[in-house]
Amino acid sequence: MSPLPDILSQLNDDMRRDDDWGAVASYIPELAHIDPAQFGIAVTTADGEVFTAGDAETPFSVQSITKVFTLAIALGRSGDQLWRRVGREPSGKAFNSIVQLEQENGRPRNPFINAGAIVTTDEILTGRLPREALAEILQFIRAAAGDENIHINDVVARSEKSHGHRNFALAHFLASCGNLNNTPNKTLGTYFHHCAIEMSARQLAMSGRFLIETTKLPRLIRPPRIRRLNALMLTCGHYDGSGDFAYRVGLPAKSGVGGGILAIVPGVASVAVWSPGLNRYGNSKKGTEAMASLARDMGWSIF
Ligand code: GLN
């Protein structure tokens, strides 16, 4: 019998024991009023089992976690050509930092910081209408999760667009360097909308199964690419907190400013945790703590 039900239930109790939840992201007004005192976790295994605890059915804004899916789609579309436009190195800077973009002539350090994800979105958008690109992104995520009930929250997308000065600055800088095929407005409209996709922890864990690398599940992308996506998640998935996350948890993972984290245990499981209060890197505070505890209890660190 799996130890996971007991471990997750204990983890849920432990996470609720103190009130140190961290602060929710306030630069997206629609996310600013979310109660930080929430916690949910879901584990889906390569054997097809699903275990959950806490607020695992509550939909939340997955935000930057969608960058994993858009990278998979952009690589599927353009292959290694994509790397001409974006790098594969950790940035050691905040997710929305602009300083390296000037230093590196408009080629973002990696696809998981905002500048890099704006480029991958632009790549998917090239030759397509925004609604077609968004339909493809949603279709990919729904197929990965085996769940048609995954949607974009339009109110969150518009809320971010009306306050997204930093992302507009990044997009205009990319355009000035010739690294944007579409207008900043069109690319960012698409970017904000895919960031505003909502999933519960259960749905997110299900959607991450395509990254497990196992013969037991239907395959969406081929193993070499799965390994590369995991490598980027490990090195870049938590921005300037990526080293700390690897040290504490030891799993490839991607965070979002909505408080979600998707982590992959290669060959074994996909894990999603959600708690909207963030730490100083803009990653879920309790989510990181829970991942560290789970990886320790299950012996899941890849190191
Ligand atoms: N949509 C958010 C932004 O561009 C995503 C950031 C995040 O989740 N870290 O700022």
The question of ipTM being above 0.85 is answered as: yes
Annotated binding residues for substrate, written as ranges, equal: 64, 114, 160, 167, 191, 239, 257
Predicted confidence at residue 265, as pLDDT, reads 98
At 165-214, the pLDDT tens digits run 999 999 999 999 999 999 999 999 999 999 999 999 999 999 999 999 99
At 117-150, the pLDDT tens digits run 999 999 999 999 999 999 999 999 999 999 999 9
The tokens describing 62, both together, are 């997955």
Give residue 56's identity as a one-letter amino acid code.
A
At 226-249, the pLDDT tens digits run 999 999 999 999 999 999 999 999
Catalytically annotated residue among 86, 191, 265, 275:
191
At 52-69, the pLDDT tens digits run 999 999 999 999 999 999
Residue 165: Cβ-neighbour burial (10 angstroms; 0-12, 13-18, 19+): exposed
Q: Where in the chain is the domain with CATH 3.40.710.10?
A: 4-61+199-297, 64-197
**Ligand 1 pocket test target in 159, 195, 238 with most atoms within 8 Å of CB:** 195
Centroid of ligand 1 to alpha carbon of 298 (angstroms): 30
Rounded to an integer, the average pLDDT of 287-292 is: 98
Rounded to an integer, the average pLDDT of 4-30 is: 96
The CATH number that domain 4-61+199-297 falls under is 3.40.710.10
Domain range 64-197, its CATH number among 3.40.50.300, 3.40.710.10, 1.20.120.530, 3.90.1170.50:
3.40.710.10
Q: Which atom in ligand 1 lies closest to the alpha carbon of residue 195?
A: 1
Predicted confidence at residue 243, as pLDDT, reads 97
User: Does pLDDT of 217 surpass 90?
Assistant: no
Q: What lines the ligand 1 site, CB under 6 Å?
A: 63-64, 95-96, 114, 160, 167, 195, 256-257, 282
Calpha distance 111→233 (Å, rounded): 10
**8 Å CB contact between 202 and 272:** yes
